[in-house]
Amino acid sequence: MTDATTTHTLATHLVPLRKNWGWLMGAGVILILLGVFGLAASLLFSLVSVFTFGFMMLIGGVVLLVDAFRREGWKSRMLMLAIGALYVLSGVLVFAMPLSALAGLTLFVGAALVATGVLRIVMAFQLRPMQTWIWVLVSGVLSLLLGALILVQWPASSAWVLGTFLAIELIFQGWAYVMLAQAIRSTFDGVQPKS
């Protein structure tokens, strides 16, 4: 009874995607291939990540500046102008000095992973009576080790860290699309769509 209900519910949710399973499968395969290429060309992907960050900072800064100029008489207008200008300046600096920006972002990622690892390890010991505490501890140790690896190899690690993270994200996203496409296909295999 539970399995039938679960299958029916899953099938109901997958109906809108039924006609597009092939596109999902194709998109998933392309993302996986792009991710695998990214693992081989991690410096290129790292630079793409930095330029994407710079572009977002530029656009965000322009939006903030336009918004600040539209709000006459607002007490915080000058602060909003300063924040917008800092965003724009950050974006310009990323494009002017991409390798320095890449090194700075990599340093930040390494430090953030070390801090996250330490906090997860502390949290694991606080959760120790629970059965899942060991998984929190393992996660914390892995984050700490990865962060330490990035920091010990910095600035040389700048050439691979962000690109590798982006490539792995693409592979997992692609794999999720492939699995979704297979679920749709197997759920409706042999069932004709209603006209």
**Kind plus residue range of the DSSP H or E element containing 28:** helix 21-40
Say yes or no to pLDDT of 189 above 80: no
Residue identified by tokens 């007490």 is: 75
Cβ of 112: how many Cβ atoms within 10 Å? 13
- Backbone angles phi and psi of 73, in degrees to 5: 80, 5
Label residue 195 by pLDDT band (50, 70, 90): very low
Give the Å distances, CA to CA, from 116 to 80, 107, 148, 167.
Answer: 31, 14, 11, 22
Percent of the chain scoring above 70 in pLDDT: 85
**pLDDT top residue among 75 and 31:** 31
Q: What angle do CA 34, 56, 158 make, to 5 degrees?
A: 55
Kindly give the interhelix angle for 42-70 and 98-126, rounded to the nearest 10 degrees. 90
- Token pair recorded at residue 152: 């010990």
- Token pair recorded at residue 93: 């600096």
pLDDT at 15: 57
pLDDT at 190: 57
Label residue 1 by pLDDT band (50, 70, 90): very low
What are the tens digits of pLDDT across the range 16-59?
Answer: 556 677 787 888 899 899 989 988 888 888 888 889 889 999 99
Distance (Å, rounded) from C-alpha 181 to C-alpha 32?
14
Say yes or no to pLDDT of 182 above 70: yes
Distance (Å, rounded) from C-alpha 117 to C-alpha 66?
40
Q: What angle do CA 130, 134, 136 make, to 5 degrees?
A: 95
Compute the average pLDDT of residues 65-70.
84
pTM of the model: 0.63
Give the Å distances, CA to CA, from 60 to 109, 144, 177.
Answer: 21, 32, 30
Percent of the chain scoring above 90 in pLDDT: 16
pLDDT at 184: 74
SS3 at position 127: coil
pLDDT at 192: 54
Please give the biggest Cα pair distance in the chain: 66
